[in-house]
Structure 1
Amino acid sequence: MVLDSDPHILLTNDDGIDAPGIRGLYDALSTVGTVTVVAPDRNRSAVGRSLSYGRTKSSDDDDLSVDLADSAFTVPVPHTDHELGYAVDGTPCDCAIVGTKGLEPSPDIVVSGCNSGANLGAYVFSRSGTVSAAMEAAFLGTPSIAVSLDTLGYDEELEPADFERAGEITAALVDGVPGTGLFDRVDYLNVNVPRPDREPNGVALTRPTEIYEMDATFEDGAFQLTNRLWQQMANRDIPDGEDTDRHAVLEEEVSISPLRVPYEIVDTEPVRHILDDIV
């Protein structure tokens, strides 16, 4: 798949249309293409690939028979106009669907983010709203990029300027892809950028770690969950290989993981030279 040199970019996220991360990407991507925003009207983090719409309408018939007319499978998706585009009362995947299928002209590429907090590991594919929106677009045949900013230990309130580096990297990817054939080999990219107060130590082509460690206890009549993955990150003590996304972020590298749907991790070597030339 070859992108236009002046691509139509669909921008979405899961933090909501007023989040600083989407503004940071909008400003950067506007320098390399035409950007249309279709994003949730509020924070919809960690909803995964859930959909609010697309279900059949409920039947009022006593026998619960289903009306199989075309209209039974069509529902409105509420939205309001926003200075950046459209604020949708729905999930990130809802936004990816209406954005790729309902806009004219249809987008050449979808960018999801920039998320406040890294999205690392294969387990996030079905959990992260940011990655799920990119995956949804890929399922629908539109190449996409999910972008997240590591914020572990960063206690300052985030502003659009904090996402400037993430925006520059994303814009470089979108601008550098035409003619490379990258999206003939991969369906989407999962990009994670170091904290805004850290200077990136280069770019690493990675695979999402397959390590997953959650823990739970029942104490004093209450359940408690412990996220061992982020506990390990905070302690800088991870068992992950050097070629993984978690390792790259701890080394303050920009992590780029090339992926295919459904849930397939791509061998990085065939695309390494393409991405090396872009970023």
Structure 2
Amino acid sequence: MELDSDPHILLTNDDGIDAPGIRALHDALSAVGEVTVVAPDRNRSAVGRSLSYGRTNSSDGGDLSLDLEADSFTSPVPHTDHDLGYAVDGTPCDCAIVGAKGLEPAPDIVVSGCNDGANLGAYVFSRSGTVSAAMEAAFLGTPSIAVSMDTLGYDDDLEPADFERAGEIAADLVAGAPGTGLFDRVDYLNVNVPGPKAEPNGFAITRPTEVYEMDAAFEDGRFQLTNRLWQQMSNRDIPDDEDTDRHAVLEEAVSISPLRVPYEVVDTEPVRTVFDRVL
């Protein structure tokens, strides 16, 4: 799918519409196209590809209860107006669907982010709300980009300015795509940017690492989970190959993983020249 040179951009996220990362992307993307924001009204991190279809959201963010009549296939998605666009009482995938299918004109591309925290590895695709929104748009036939920033070990409160580099990269990708045929080869991109204090170290076209390590224990009558990979990330010690997304980010390079739905990693070599033109 070829993008217009003046695209209509749908912007969403999973950290909530008031998060600093989405404000930064809105400002950056507004310089390269018309931006409409449809994002969750509160933090919806790690909800994956869940939908509110057929369910009623509790206002306090609690469980979702079934609320779909047997003879009905339409379910409301409540929203309120926001200075950025629309604040939706729903999930990131809700936002991707209503934005891609419910707005006129329909968006040419969906951008999801910028997430507070990296989304690295194949295991994260269906868990991350940020990546899931981009994937949902891709399933609906709309090119998309998920943008996340590594904030591991960054203890300061984040401001939109901290996401400035991520916004510039997202804008460059959107502005540079027309005329390249990029989204004829790729359905969506998973982009991970090193943290705000990292020194720029170029770009890497990557594949999502397949290494996944979670541990669990039952101690003192309680279950607990331990993410061994994030322990290794914190120590800057990881078991990933050099062509993977996590390896690139720890080298302080911007990782760009070109992907196809449902979970297909694109051969990076044919698209490498496209990215050389875009970036």
Deviation digits for residues 137-176 of structure 1, max 9, x if unmatched? 0000000000000001111100000000000000000000
| Counterpart in the other structure of 1:189 | 189
Q: Whole-Å Cα distance in 2 between the matches of residues 58 and 212 of structure 1?
A: 37
- Give matches, 1:99-248, under 5 Å: 99-248=99-248
Identity of aligned residues (%): 85
Runs of 4+ in structure 1 over 3 Å off: 54-59
Q: Whole-Å Cα distance in 2 between the matches of residues 11 and 238 of structure 1?
A: 32
| Counterpart in the other structure of 1:250 | 250
Amino acid at match of 2:158: L
Q: TM-score, normalised by structure 2?
A: 0.95
Q: TM-score, normalised by structure 1?
A: 0.95
Q: Whole-Å Cα distance in 1 between the matches of residues 96 and 184 of structure 2?
A: 20
CA RMSD between the two structures: 1.1
Amino acid at match of 1:87: A
Choose 1 or 2 for highest CA Rg.
Answer: 1
Residue 36 of structure 2 corresponds to residue 31 of structure 1 = no
| Counterpart in the other structure of 1:98 | 98
Unaligned 5+ residue runs, structure 1? 60-65
CA contact (8 A) 1:57 1:73 kept: no
Amino acid at match of 2:216: A
Q: Whole-Å Cα distance in 1 between the matches of residues 106 and 9 of structure 2?
A: 9
Classify 1:10/1:54 alpha carbon distance in 2 versus 1 (closer, same or farther; 3 Å): farther
Unaligned 5+ residue runs, structure 2? 56-65
| Counterpart in the other structure of 1:75 | 75
Decide which moves more: 236-245 or 105-114.
Answer: 236-245
CA contact (8 A) 2:54 2:68 kept: no
Q: Whole-Å Cα distance in 1 between the matches of residues 178 and 222 of structure 2?
A: 54
CA contact (8 A) 2:68 2:75 kept: no
Q: Whole-Å Cα distance in 2 between the matches of residues 21 and 12 of structure 1?
A: 10
CA contact (8 A) 1:150 1:192 kept: yes
Q: Whole-Å Cα distance in 2 between the matches of residues 118 and 151 of structure 1?
A: 7
CA contact (8 A) 1:218 1:224 kept: yes
What is the aligned length? 269
Classify 1:58/1:168 alpha carbon distance in 2 versus 1 (closer, same or farther; 3 Å): closer
